[in-house]
Chain A
Amino acid sequence: MELLKIEDLTKRFGGLVAVNRFSLSLSQGDLAGLIGPNGAGKTTIFNLITGVYKPTEGKIIFMNKDITQKKPHQITALGIARTFQNIRLFSKLSVLDNVKVAFHLRLRSNIFAAVFDTPGYSKQELEMEAKAEELLKAVGLLELKNERASALPYGHQRKLEIARALATQPKLLLLDEPAAGMNPEETIGLMRFIQKIKEDFDLTILLIEHDMKVVMGICEKITVLDHGSVIARGTPEEIQNNPEVIKAYLGTGGVYARS
Chain B
Amino acid sequence: MYKKRSFWLTVVAVSLFFLFIYVAQNSLDAYIIRILNVAAIYVILGVSLNLINGFTGQFSLGHAGFMAIGAYASALLYMSPQLKAMNFFIKPLIWPLSEIQMPFFPALLIGGLLAAGAGFLVGAPCLRVKGDYLAIVTYGFSEIIRVLFNNLQSVTNGPLGLKGLPTYTNLWWSWGWAIFTIFFIKRLIDSSYGRALKAIRDDESAAEAMGVNLLYHKTLAFVVGAFFAGIAGGLLGSLVMTIDPNAFNIFLTFQIVLIVLLGGLGSITGTVIMGAAMAFLMELLRAVEVPMNFFGITIPGIPGMRMLIFSIILMIAVLFFRRGIIGDREFSWEGFISFFKGRPSRGREGE
Q: Is the CB of B195 within 8 A of A72?
A: no
**B49 smallest CB distance to A (angstroms):** 18
The answer to whether B210 touches A91 (Cβ under 8 A) is: no
Contacts of A137 in B (CB 8 A): none
B327 to chain A, nearest CB (A): 10
Instruction: Please tell me if the beta carbons of B210 and A93 are within 8 angstroms of each other in the complex.
Output: no
Other-chain residue from A73, A92, A121 in contact with B211 (beta carbon distance below 8 A): A73
Judged by a CB distance under 8 angstroms, whether B308 is at the interface is no
List the A residue with the shortest CB-CB distance to B206: A88
What chain A residues lie within 8 Å of B201 (beta carbons)? 92
**Interface residue tally on A, bucketed by range:** 35 or more
Q: Which of B202-216 contact A (CB under 8 A)?
A: 202-203, 205-214
Number of A-B contacts (CB under 8 A): 103
How far in angstroms is the closest Cβ of chain B from A69? 16
Most buried by B among A76, A101, A107, A146: A101
- Quick one: CB contact mask for B338-350 with A, threshold 8 Å, 1 for yes? 0000000010010
- In the assembled complex, A256 has its CB within 8 A of some CB on chain B: no
Q: Which residue of A lies closest to B216 (CB)?
A: A73
Residue in A76, A90, A109 with the greatest tally of chain B CB atoms within 10 Å:
A90
Given contacts A90-B206, A101-B207, A101-B212, A111 and B193 within 8 Å (CB-CB): yes
Q: A114: nearest residue on chain B (CB-CB)?
A: B191
B-chain residues with CB within 8 Å of residue A114 when the two chains form the complex:
187-188, 191-193
Q: For window 182-206 of chain B, which residues contact chain A by CB distance below 8 Å? A: 184, 187-188, 191-193, 195-196, 198-199, 201-203, 205-206
Considering residues B199, B205, B209, which has the most beta carbons from chain A within 10 angstroms of its beta carbon?
Answer: B209
* Residue from the list B211, B220, B328, B349 in contact with A94, Cβ < 8 A: B349
A71, A76, A111: the one contacting B210 at CB < 8 Å is A76
Once the chains bind, are A104 and B195 in contact (CB under 8 Å)? yes
Residue in A closest to B183 when the chains form the complex, CB atoms? A115
- A86→B174 CA distance, assembly (Å): 47
Q: Which residues of A contact B205 (CB under 8 A)?
A: 52, 84, 88
> Count of chain B residues with Cβ under 8 Å from any Cβ of A?
29
Q: DSSP class of B's interface residues: helix, strand, loop or mixed?
A: helix
Q: A111-B188, A117-B187 are in contact. Are A105 and B203 (CB under 8 A)?
A: no
Any chain B CB within 8 A of the CB of A13? no
* Bound Cα distance A94, B198 (Å): 11
A89 and B212: CB pair below 8 A? no
Most A CB contacts (10 A, CB to CB) among B187, B191, B212 go to B191
Q: Indicate if the CB atoms of A91 and B202 lie closer than 8 Å.
A: yes
A101 B214 Cβ-Cβ under 8 A: no
CA of A69 to CA of B198 in the docked complex: distance in angstroms? 27
Judge whether A105 and B184 touch: CB under 8 Å. no
Distance between Cα atoms of A165 and B212 in the complex (Å): 13
A72 touches which of B198, B209, B220 (Cβ 8 Å): B209
Interface residues of A in 129-188 (CB under 8 A from B): 146, 164-165, 167-168
Closest 8 CB pairs of A and B: A105-B211, A76-B211, A114-B191, A88-B206, A90-B202, A72-B208, A101-B199, A115-B187
Using A84-B209, A105-B212 as known contacts, list a sample of 19 further A-B pairs with CB atoms less than 8 Å apart, ordered by residue number in A.
A52-B205, A71-B213, A76-B209, A88-B203, A91-B203, A92-B202, A92-B266, A93-B199, A93-B202, A94-B349, A101-B199, A103-B192, A109-B192, A111-B224, A114-B187, A114-B193, A121-B191, A124-B192, A165-B210
